[in-house]
Amino acid sequence: MFRAIARIPLGRTTEDTQLRSLLDRLRTALVAGRPSFLARYGLSSLAVGGVALLRSAMFAEFAPWFLFTPAVVVIALLLGGGAGLWATLLAALCASITLRDVPPVGALSLMQVVASAIFIVTTAGLVGLVVALRHALIEADAARTELMRSAAAAAEREAFLTSVLASSTDCIKVLDLDGRLTFMSEGGQRVMEVSDFNAIAGCHWPDFWTGQGHVEALAALAAAREGRAQSFVGRASTIRGTPKWWHVALSPIRNQDGGYDRILSVSRDITALRESEDEREHFVRLAENSTDFIGMLQTDGRVFYVNDAARRMVGLDGADVTALAMTDFFLPEQVATVTSEVLPAVDRDGHWSGELTFRHFRTGELIPVLYSVFPVTDIDGRTVGYGTVTRDFRARKQAEEELRLLNGELAHRLKNVLAVVQSVTRQTLRNASDVQKASQDLSARLVALGAATDVLTNASWRSADLRELIERALAPHGEIGVRILLDGPCLTLKPQVAVALALALHELATNAAKYGALSNDAGRVDVIWQVRGEAPEARFRLDWREQGGPPVAEPTRRGFGSILIERSLRSYFGGTAGIEYRPDGLTFAMDTQLGDAVMTDGKA
């Protein structure tokens, strides 16, 4: 871009060089300095006087003015015009004196006066020419010096600009108006990883960009062509294919006519900056995407930032949080705790964490939280604010509450079961004929109770599958499906009646094993249950039928079993329940409203 100053070599001969050297020396002598007034006029007077003496000694009667002319020329050349004129006049005077020595003495003839005048005029003219020559020589020297100085200055400036361009890490390019690459700075070639500029010179610059960068480059080029500077940020690979981010500024280069014929493009590699921005962006996303409440307070307690999870938690979606203070988030009763305990602890220990309660800004709902707060410091360790990561404890508190209720419920059920065991025990002892029998009966009844409890526990005490309950209660007394046959639809029993029915079935089976159908090898028991009619009048009926056992006789004394069966089932199921001691086999029938025994809507 910078035109090199070339020296045009001259064809010189030896004589030229010698003459030039002589002239250089003369010029040096001429311009070395202007002699003082005394030197100029004294030297010229001495020279003229010297010539006059020489003339009178050697050429007394020959050409009185002739010898003066060379002296005057030399004087004019070396000492300037004034000294030349002075020498001319002095020479004319000296010549006149010499002429007067020639007879007739006393006056100059007219001829001599005219000749003197001609001498003066021509010599003065010669002095004028010599002075002009002298000035020309001086000026030429000055011009040459100036030329050398400006050439040196230009070279220096060019070296400076070249070194600036070379040392810049920006990629400085010059494009023609069509966007073709005509120049690229050395530093630019380094960052663009260009090994040979000629390989890319003349390439269409926007083609180095792809995608959105290409669009932006074309737009910037169009703007520069119209005389406007424009910049953009884009992604382009270096010549070797290293992907980089660039900040690009395009501006038109104004020429001397005021128009634009070239375009300057300065691209800065901002990949590292971009990466650090990306890194910072990741930290921002970390806070933004957290499901915990993340916030930062200024040192005066005003809110600086809260993330989306925080906004959702306390109902601040879209609100300007910077108008809020930290204390606005807490339950009013806890504000004093926060200011008198939490904040001093943060200053003292560098951290505080504990359970507090937030308040929902819109609904006023209390939100139990695990609040954690710590000082945020800058690079010099100065506290610039307070950060908090706060966890929503609603679900946990609810789980704790549920667990507490569950434990309470469990204790309640356990105590109720113990109460039932207590009653069964006392009834067993009350009706037993001896301790041995009481022990056996009690053990068997507790087993039946345990089986019923199993069925209930499986359904979390909310219901009991009827068939499973029957199977478990009867399994100890005979193989189900062989001696004991079950037939009935799939039904879910209410938990309140499950224990009583299990105990009743246990008593029936015990009785059958002792005196009835299960006491020999041939008898069998049918347990049949069914639902008849439609809700809400639907009824539930359960039948126990023994056959094939020994002949049945009504007992003389009714034991705990039959009393429990009839009395408790009637009470629990709210219907009829009765045992018939038929000769061909004992039967038991229970008939009740379906809704009193069975889950009909899935609820207890």
Partner 1 sequence: MLGQRTPIGSKTILVVEDEALVRFDMTDFFEDRGWQVYEAENAEQAIALLDRHGEIRVLLTDVEMPGAMDGLRLAHYVRERFPPALLFVVSGQAPPSPQALPARATFLPKPFDLHHVLRQIDRSPVG
| Residue 565 CB, nearest approach to partner 1 (Å) | 11
| Residue 546 CB, nearest approach to partner 1 (Å) | 25
CB nearer to partner 1: give 215 or 446.
Answer: 446
| Residue 600 CB, nearest approach to partner 1 (Å) | 16
Sequence-distant (6+) residues with CB within 8 A of 552 are: 515, 516, 546, 581, 582, 583, 584, 585, 586
Residue 351 binds to partner 1 (criterion: CB under 8 A): no
Q: Which of 229, 218, 123, 132 is nearest to 178 (CA)?
A: 218
| Residue 421 CB, nearest approach to partner 1 (Å) | 8
Single out the segment in contact with partner 1 by CB under 8 A; choices: 7-15, 249-257, 481-489, 497-505: 497-505
Taking CB under 8 A as the criterion, the residue among 21, 167, 291, 416 binding partner 1 is 416
Sequence-distant (6+) residues with CB within 8 A of 222 are: none
Taking CB under 8 A as the criterion, the residue among 291, 567, 576, 584 binding partner 1 is 567
Q: Which of 219, 211, 218, 251 is nearest to 235 (CA)?
A: 211
Strand positions, DSSP E, 522-600: 524-532, 539-547, 576-582, 585-593
Q: Give the Cα separation of 535 and 532 in Å (integer).
A: 9
Would you give the DSSP letter of residue 510?
H
User: In this structure, are strands 484-487 and 524-532 parallel, antiparallel, or unpaired?
Assistant: parallel
| Residue 498 CB, nearest approach to partner 1 (Å) | 12
Q: Which of 386, 368, 362, 370 is nearest to 314 (CA)?
A: 362
The partner residues of 236 in beta bridges, in order of sequence, read: 244
Instruction: Work out the number of other CB atoms within 10 angstroms of the CB of residue 55.
Output: 21
Residue 53 binds to partner 1 (criterion: CB under 8 A): no
Whether 48 and 40 have beta carbons less than 8 Å apart is answered as: no
| Residue 364 CB, nearest approach to partner 1 (Å) | 29
Q: What angle do CA 428, 431, 433 make, to 5 degrees?
A: 110
Whether 563 and 535 have beta carbons less than 8 Å apart is answered as: no
Single out the segment in contact with partner 1 by CB under 8 A; choices: 140-148, 180-188, 299-307, 404-412: 404-412
Q: How many residues does the chain have?
A: 604
CB nearer to partner 1: give 382 or 404.
Answer: 404
Residue 499 binds to partner 1 (criterion: CB under 8 A): yes
| Residue 303 CB, nearest approach to partner 1 (Å) | 43
Residue 420 binds to partner 1 (criterion: CB under 8 A): yes
Taking CB under 8 A as the criterion, the residue among 149, 426, 462, 514 binding partner 1 is 426
Residue 412 binds to partner 1 (criterion: CB under 8 A): yes
Instruction: Work out the number of other CB atoms within 10 angstroms of the CB of residue 487.
Output: 11
Sequence-distant (6+) residues with CB within 8 A of 275 are: none
Taking CB under 8 A as the criterion, the residue among 247, 311, 359, 413 binding partner 1 is 413
CB nearer to partner 1: give 358 or 588.
Answer: 588
User: In this structure, are strands 383-392 and 293-298 parallel, antiparallel, or unpaired?
Assistant: antiparallel
| Residue 401 CB, nearest approach to partner 1 (Å) | 15
Single out the segment in contact with partner 1 by CB under 8 A; choices: 225-233, 382-390, 410-418, 457-465: 410-418
Q: Give the Cα separation of 513 and 478 in Å (integer).
A: 9
The token duo for 397 is 């508190």
CB nearer to partner 1: give 272 or 419.
Answer: 419
Taking CB under 8 A as the criterion, the residue among 150, 398, 460, 571 binding partner 1 is 571
Q: Give the Cα separation of 108 and 301 in Å (integer).
A: 121
Residue 588 binds to partner 1 (criterion: CB under 8 A): no
CB nearer to partner 1: give 113 or 410.
Answer: 410
Output the 3-class SS for 14-38.
HHHHHHHHHHHHHHHHHHCCCCCHH
Q: Is 416 helix (H, G, I), strand (E, B) or coil?
A: helix
Residue 424 binds to partner 1 (criterion: CB under 8 A): yes
CB nearer to partner 1: give 337 or 416.
Answer: 416
Taking CB under 8 A as the criterion, the residue among 90, 181, 564, 597 binding partner 1 is 564
Taking CB under 8 A as the criterion, the residue among 65, 386, 572, 588 binding partner 1 is 572
Residue 590 binds to partner 1 (criterion: CB under 8 A): no
Single out the segment in contact with partner 1 by CB under 8 A; choices: 243-251, 312-320, 494-502, 528-536: 494-502
Residue 491 binds to partner 1 (criterion: CB under 8 A): no
Taking CB under 8 A as the criterion, the residue among 28, 242, 422, 440 binding partner 1 is 422
| Residue 400 CB, nearest approach to partner 1 (Å) | 17
Taking CB under 8 A as the criterion, the residue among 109, 291, 398, 423 binding partner 1 is 423
| Residue 416 CB, nearest approach to partner 1 (Å) | 5
Q: Looking at beta carbons, which pairs linking 58-63 to residues 24 or more positions away fall under 8 Å? A: 60/98, 60/101, 61/102
| Residue 573 CB, nearest approach to partner 1 (Å) | 10
Single out the segment in contact with partner 1 by CB under 8 A; choices: 90-98, 223-231, 407-415, 578-586: 407-415
Residue 348 binds to partner 1 (criterion: CB under 8 A): no
How does DSSP assign 145-186, residue by residue? HHHHHHHHHHHHHHHHHHHHHHH-SSEEEEEETT-BEEEE-H
Taking CB under 8 A as the criterion, the residue among 121, 143, 203, 419 binding partner 1 is 419
Q: Give the Cα separation of 531 and 591 in Å (integer).
A: 10
CB nearer to partner 1: give 71 or 424.
Answer: 424
**Site of interaction with partner 1 (CB under 8 A):** 408, 411-416, 418-424, 426-427, 430, 496, 499-500, 503, 563-564, 567-568, 571-572
